[in-house]
Structures are given as C-alpha cells and as structure tokens.
C-alpha cells in the first residue's frame, strides 16, 4: 500500500534498521505470533518429510509431524523475485505487472529482473502491522531489496548481504527476538539462502551428505556451465551425484539453523502462541530436463516446494491432499491469526476449504526468463505453453517426470486447459497493478556485482 511504503523507499538499498517497536497493549499478548520461513531454492523432494530418504531435514520433518504438510504445493514462478513477492502479497507475478496482453507478450528479458512489485500491493507485513503486529524481516538473498518493495510493511527489514549463511542470518534475528516481545504479537520473516547455488556447505555438513559412490555417477559436461550458469560450477566436482550431495549438504545445514532459531524463540518463551509457516520460492533442477539450477522452465522440479504449517490451531500430522500454491499462505495465515482475510487475495484459506475442492482446482505458474512460459495444472494434467503458442501436455499421474508430451493424443484435454488458461489471463488484466521499474544506474554497485555473478544481469 502506498502510505506504508514511504519510509522504506526513502532509505538505501541494503540494511534498513527501523528498530522501534511501537508500544503495544497487554491485550495483544493473547494474539498469536507468526514466524514465516522461506528457504530459497528448497526443492520439495529434497526434504525428508516429502520423501527424501537421506537425513536432509530432521527439523522440518519434526515440524511437519506436529503440523500440516501440503503434499502438492507449488510456487507461482521458478525464480526468486516474483515468487517471493507472490508469497508475501498473495498475488500472481503477472498481477503485479503493468499492462500485459492476455496473450503472452514478446520477449522482454530485461523487465523481469528490473521489476519491483507495485506499492499498491498489500503485503502480509502491512496487513499484520495494521492489525497490531510488530514486523521484522531478515533476508539473505541480495535481490530482495527494499527498492524492489520487499521492505513494505516491516518495522525492521534487514538484507543480510551474501555470502550470508543461515547462522549469520540467525545472529541478526537474535537482536530482534532479544527485545521484550512477550506482550507484543509479532511477524518475523526469515529468508535463508544456503541451498541456492553455488553450493559451498561448511565441511561438517558436506561430510554428512558426501557419498563416496557419487564419484562414479553421471558425468557433468562442461557445456552445462556456459553462459550465465558459470556461477554454478564447483571446482573438482565431476558427477551429477557429487553435485547433488553438495546441494543436500546445504539443505541439511539450513535445517540445522532453522532448528536453532526455533530453539532460541522457545528459550525466550515466544513459542507457545507461535504459528510457523515454511516454504520456498522455487525448486532446483538436476538435469531432469537437461539443465541445472533454476529460472529455466516450469517443470515440476523447479516449481514444487514445501508448504508446512505448525501452530496452536493447526491440525497435527495432517497431510493436506489438495493442489496448493504459495499464494494460499497469506489467507491461511490470516485464518490462523484470527485476522480478516483481505478480499482481493487470489489464494484460498487451506484450513477452511474442503480439501476435495482443492484437488480439482486449477493453478497457474508463470515465468518470463529465458523462455516466456505459463503452465496450468488441473487434476492430473499439466499444460505448459510458451510465447510461440507451443504447448506440451503431461499426465502427472502416469508421467510425473514430464517426459512424454501427450498433446497429440489428448487434444480435448489440452483445449480445455487452454481455455481455462486464457480465461485466467483475461482475468489478470483486470487485476493488474501498476508496474514500477528499478533504475539500474542507482542500484548499489555491490548488489549489481553479486547479481551479475549469479547471472541475473545478463537476462
Ligand atoms: Zn530463489
């Protein structure tokens, strides 16, 4: 919202320390608080609670056992900025863009990384602040700057500049939780970065995940690291399996410090009336469709993410069977905190919607990097379309790897999905918020350098 963003936008790109906690009344002490964790690049099946048979996420597994785990959760996009904006605004990326034709626009590779989300978008932080919450965000991804809108609604927003391992992020968070928050409902947003490439886990965690047999795995061709994938290269690694071991070590490392953060909150007595939601902005691919990293396409390995809730009113041990999306977090959290759900939100409250209804809904994912694509997923079917109207149809039940395009034999299904996708795109036109753009010349040179290293600037 425009009024709430004025202060953060006047401040510089990096750390914003608006540390003042407003005087909250004792009545607020009864209000539940919220911890939202985003683990950047946490692919769904990298977590034990989602079927990984390696000990990658003991903390996440425990949290999911004590809460609700969404079995079929996806992001809205396959890279950080739009996906994270979706999480905190409850809107699709294209809602947050300006005039965009219903038909996919011609390639404009520059706008996506320059893009900031509209000041008119209500963020979860703004909504909670309006409802009496102290709000603080600590993020370890250099692209989530305040000039892109991510500080909107936070009393305190700190960009912990890369390299920023989870223990360093936690040290920043400690200053926030060291304040007297017992009579203050709070919203604490923490965005960890470690599973994002390049994978450089500390040795003890690498040792936990390193498997000697991985050296005999599938060779990694040097061509994979050409162009803007260069940042993913890790000296000395020869196989895909070694490469994935590194990723799992980063996941394991992050999980450990997630546990430390939760223990720190418990030591302060802040855990009793605390709701936790944990998710990710996107997944990561390991050559399933010929690529590494993310920002490539909308196949499942890049969009499926964990979505886990825990809290006093969250059903324990529930495996939510519906088709869900990160934009469902905003309304679901409002339900858990007993505050009004803003009417404009696109997602649904997972705790009051009959799960069966969510099993047959259709959801959309979209991206505008490398290839402009949109995908629609309904029941077992998924249709992916690009800007040239090229379509691929997959049956996710019989072909979860999305290896067989069955569009020629199921023209009726693809037509039905295409109609739904077109209707959705038309609907987006009515919802879109004004686009704002970042002035590259005014960006912090250090941030620009780090984004170049990650391949973002070359987009
Ligand atoms: Zn990301």
CB 87 within 8 A of CB 278: no
Cα of 354 vs centre of ligand 1, distance in Å, is 31
* DSSP states of 113-131: HHEE--TTSPPHHHHHHHT
Cα of 79 vs centre of ligand 1, distance in Å, is 5
- The answer on pLDDT for 342 being more than 50 is yes
Q: pLDDT (tens digit, 9 = 90+) per residue, 274-299?
A: 999 999 999 999 999 999 999 889 99
Cα of 324 vs centre of ligand 1, distance in Å, is 19
Cα of 339 vs centre of ligand 1, distance in Å, is 29
Residue 20 pLDDT grade (very low, low, confident, very high; cuts 50, 70, 90):
very low
pLDDT at 195: 97
Element (H, E) at 171: helix 166-177
Helical spans, DSSP H, in 268-379:
300-303, 329-337, 355-359
pLDDT at 357: 81
Across the range 410-432, mean pLDDT stands at 88
Residue 1 pLDDT grade (very low, low, confident, very high; cuts 50, 70, 90):
low
Lowest mean pLDDT among 218-222, 275-279, 282-286, 432-436: 432-436
Cα of 83 vs centre of ligand 1, distance in Å, is 8
Task: Tally DSSP H helices, then E strands, for the chain.
Answer: 13, 16
- The answer on pLDDT for 349 being more than 50 is yes
Cα of 232 vs centre of ligand 1, distance in Å, is 14
- The answer on pLDDT for 449 being more than 60 is yes
Q: pLDDT (tens digit, 9 = 90+) per residue, 22-41?
A: 344 445 668 999 999 999 99
Cα of 202 vs centre of ligand 1, distance in Å, is 20
Across the range 98-106, mean pLDDT stands at 42
Cα of 406 vs centre of ligand 1, distance in Å, is 31
Lowest mean pLDDT among 44-53, 106-115, 249-258, 436-445: 106-115
Cα of 297 vs centre of ligand 1, distance in Å, is 14
Cα of 88 vs centre of ligand 1, distance in Å, is 14
Cα of 219 vs centre of ligand 1, distance in Å, is 26
Cα of 280 vs centre of ligand 1, distance in Å, is 8
Cα of 450 vs centre of ligand 1, distance in Å, is 14
CB 55 within 8 A of CB 207: no
State the chain's mean pLDDT as an integer: 86
Cα of 28 vs centre of ligand 1, distance in Å, is 34
Tell if the pTM clears 0.85, that is, is over it: yes
* 187 closest CA partner among 151, 135, 150: 135
Percent of the chain at pLDDT above 70? 83
Cα of 141 vs centre of ligand 1, distance in Å, is 8
Cα of 41 vs centre of ligand 1, distance in Å, is 5
Cα of 229 vs centre of ligand 1, distance in Å, is 15
Rounded CA-CA distance 73/323 in Å is 6
Cα of 281 vs centre of ligand 1, distance in Å, is 5
Greater confidence, 147 or 215?
215
Greater confidence, 329 or 105?
329
pLDDT at 448: 67
């Amino acid at each position: 919202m425009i009024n709430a963003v004025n202060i953060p936008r006047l401040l510089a790109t990096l750390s914003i320390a608006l540390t003042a906690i407003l005087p909250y009344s004792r009545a607020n002490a009864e209000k539940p608080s919220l911890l939202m964790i985003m683990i950047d690049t946490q692919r769904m099946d990298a977590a034990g609670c989602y079927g990984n048979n390696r000990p990658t996420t003991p903390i996440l597994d425990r949290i999911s056992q004590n809460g609700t785990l969404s079995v079929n959760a996806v992001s809205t996009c396959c890279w950080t900025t739009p996906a994270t904006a979706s999480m905190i605004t409850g809107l699709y990326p294209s809602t947050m863009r300006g005039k965009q034709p219903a038909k996919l626009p011609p390639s404009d590779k520059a706008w996506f990384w320059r893009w900031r989300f509209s000041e008119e978008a209500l963020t979860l932080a703004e909504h909670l602040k309006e409802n009496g919450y102290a709000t603080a965000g600590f993020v370890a991804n250099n692209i989530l700057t305040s000039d892109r809108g991510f500080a909107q609604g936070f009393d305190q927003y700190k960009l912990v500049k890369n390299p920023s391992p989870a223990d360093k992020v936690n040290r920043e968070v400690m200053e926030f939780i060291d304040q007297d928050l017992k009579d203050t409902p709070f919203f604490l947003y923490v965005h960890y970065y470690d599973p994002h490439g390049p994978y450089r886990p500390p040795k003890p965690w690498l040792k936990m995940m390193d498997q000697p047999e991985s050296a005999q795995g599938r060779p990694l061709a040097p061509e994979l690291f050409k162009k803007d994938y260069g940042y993913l290269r890790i000296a000395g690694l020869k196989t895909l399996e070694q490469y994935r071991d590194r990723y799992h070590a980063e996941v394991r490392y992050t999980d450990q410090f997630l546990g430390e953060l939760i223990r720190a909150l418990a030591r302060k007595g802040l855990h009793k009336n605390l709701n936790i939601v944990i998710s990710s902005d996107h997944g990561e691919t390991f050559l399933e469709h010929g690529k590494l990293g993310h920002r490539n396409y909308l196949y499942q390995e890049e969009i499926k993410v964990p979505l886990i809730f825990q809290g006093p009113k969250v059903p324990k041990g529930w495996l939510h069977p519906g088709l869900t999306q990160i934009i469902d977090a905003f309304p679901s959290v409002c339900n858990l905190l007993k505050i009004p759900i803003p009417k404009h939100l696109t997602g649904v409250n997972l705790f009051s919607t009959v799960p069966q209804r969510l099993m047959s809904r259709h959801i959309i994912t979209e991206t505008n990097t490398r290839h402009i694509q949109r995908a629609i997923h309904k029941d077992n079917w998924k249709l992916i379309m690009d800007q040239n109207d090229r379509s691929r149809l997959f049956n996710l039940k019989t072909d979860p790897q999305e290896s067989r395009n069955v569009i020629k034999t199921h023209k009726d299904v693809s037509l039905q999905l295409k109609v739904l996708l077109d209707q959705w795109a038309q609907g987006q036109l009515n919802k879109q918020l004004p686009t704002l753009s970042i002035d590259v010349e005014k960006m912090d040179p250090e941030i620009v350098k780090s984004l170049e290293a990650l391949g973002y600037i070359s987009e």
